[in-house]
Amino acid sequence: MLQPRPYRSIAVIGAGSWGTALAAAAARAGCAVRLHARRGEVADDINASRRNRAYLGDATLSANIEASTNLAHVLEGADAVLLVIPSSAIRDTARSMAPLMRAGALAATPVVTCAKGVEAQSGMLLVDVVREEMPGQPVAILSGPTFADEVAVDMPTTVTIASDRVPEDPLERGIAARLALTMSSGGFRAYISDDTTGVGIGGAMKNVIAIACGISRGAGFRANMTAALITRGLAEMTLLATVLGGRADTIAGLSGLGDLTLTCSSEQSRNLRFGLQLGAGARREQTFGGAPVVVEGVRNAVSVTDLARKHGLALAICEAVRAIVHDGADIVATLGDLWAQPIEAEAQEINVAFRHPDPAMVREKIKEMIG
């Protein structure tokens, strides 16, 4: 079997919790890491104290990590670039990076999207946004069931790294394989894929489903409903991914089922906590005590359902989250409508559906249980 060559110099764009955690993982694997921070005080803290106290508490960072606010300096000499910023900032950041990446030595350097989402305006997956802003640049995506604080202190973690396969090259020579070998060290283990679409859809949709699970729990429902939402949410993820050209087995893996399970089951997830607060009666602007917390599932509830509608798909759970979060729909009525949907086959291949035998009774039961 061919052994891929690891990368040795990694640039990480984004010094939030996830960017810093990935920088820590790369440094533990022996890479020289430059980390781009927007704020000078964050870069100074990392360089002086080996901490990123603004985003990652007291986790100690390797001396192999150099933080800087100078984007050109961070990119200089990089073998690979990890783009670890909120999904809403991907396009502008990629556009800013493009002229720097076109410079000779960086033209063949892969750019790896590590954010999760679908762009609101275009309906594009984030890896495709990078492709559009950096034509000809090699791209990849890293995703999976991860909490940044656990990665930062080297708790066991698995991710999927996907890149397009070059027809004349075997997968083990590709970007995903080289990145997996580069990052895998200690508790951090990477698997490889050539399905960037499936990996991207899993990361975008799991946050929306997590909000649904939070709303359910916050409203007083128990484990049975959570299990139903996770399982049927997985079916919605699979449906959209396969329509877009992704594979069902990708959604059954780390970047789909794995990430969905983590995000829907742990209150470390901002998306789950957001839903819990909504389900308990808080208005959207009251969640997190009014603090401006980034909850990726909020914007993705719109971008994912817009994308699905464009392809003629009805994603009932994602549509319910969109209705509650963005349209002010009543939680009781929306959950009642969700449970009163027509009876249908579980397998996508069986195209059958018929009216629920007593939708009014179901809606009343949901109302009774919440009330």
Nearest-5° Cα angle at 139, 249 to 144: 40
User: 152 with 210, same domain?
Assistant: no
User: 22 with 121, same domain?
Assistant: yes
Give all strands (DSSP E) within the chain, no chain letters: 9-13, 32-36, 65-68, 80-83, 111-113, 139-143, 157-163, 188-193, 343-344, 353-354
pLDDT at 43: 98
In 51-125, which ranges are continuous DSSP H helix? 71-75, 90-101
Report if residue 2 sits inside a domain. Answer: no
CATH code, 250: 1.10.1040.10
What's the domain count of the chain? 2
**Closest by alpha carbon to 139, among 102, 104, 176?**
176
Domain span at residue 286? 202-370
CATH code, 185: 3.40.50.720
**For residue range 220-266, what is the model confidence (pLDDT) as tens digits?**
999 999 999 999 999 999 999 999 999 999 999 999 999 999 999 99
Has residue 29 got a pLDDT over 70? yes
CA–CA distance from 158 to each of 3, 80, 161, 311, 339 (Å)? 20, 20, 10, 32, 34
pLDDT band at 170 (very low <50, low <70, confident <90, very high): low
**For residue range 64-102, what is the model confidence (pLDDT) as tens digits?**
999 999 999 999 999 999 999 999 999 999 999 999 998
Contact present, 315 and 241 (Cβ < 8 Å): no
State how far Cα 125 lies from the chain centre. 11
Share of the chain above pLDDT 70, in %: 98
User: 178 with 243, same domain?
Assistant: no
Domain boundary among 151, 166, 194: 194
Report if residue 257 sits inside a domain. Answer: yes
Domain boundary among 178, 194, 210: 194
Q: Give, to the nearest 10 degrees, the angle between helix 270-279 and helix 296-310.
A: 90
User: 225 with 255, same domain?
Assistant: yes
Q: Give, to the nearest 10 degrees, the angle between helix 90-101 and helix 126-133.
A: 40
User: 156 with 258, same domain?
Assistant: no
CA–CA distance from 189 to each of 8, 144, 223, 261, 270 (Å)? 17, 11, 30, 18, 24
Has residue 17 got a pLDDT over 90? yes
**Closest by alpha carbon to 238, among 246, 228, 227, 229?**
246
Report if residue 4 sits inside a domain. Answer: no
Whole-model pTM?
A: 0.95
User: 152 with 220, same domain?
Assistant: no
Strand (E) or helix (H) holding 179 = helix 175-183
Report if residue 3 sits inside a domain. Answer: no
pLDDT band at 164 (very low <50, low <70, confident <90, very high): confident
Report if residue 1 sits inside a domain. Answer: no
Domain boundary among 147, 162, 194: 194
Has residue 168 got a pLDDT over 70? no
User: 104 with 154, same domain?
Assistant: yes
User: 157 with 272, same domain?
Assistant: no
Give the tokens for residue 111.
Answer: 């750019």
User: 302 with 286, same domain?
Assistant: yes
Residue numbers annotated as active site = 206
Report if residue 124 sits inside a domain. Answer: yes
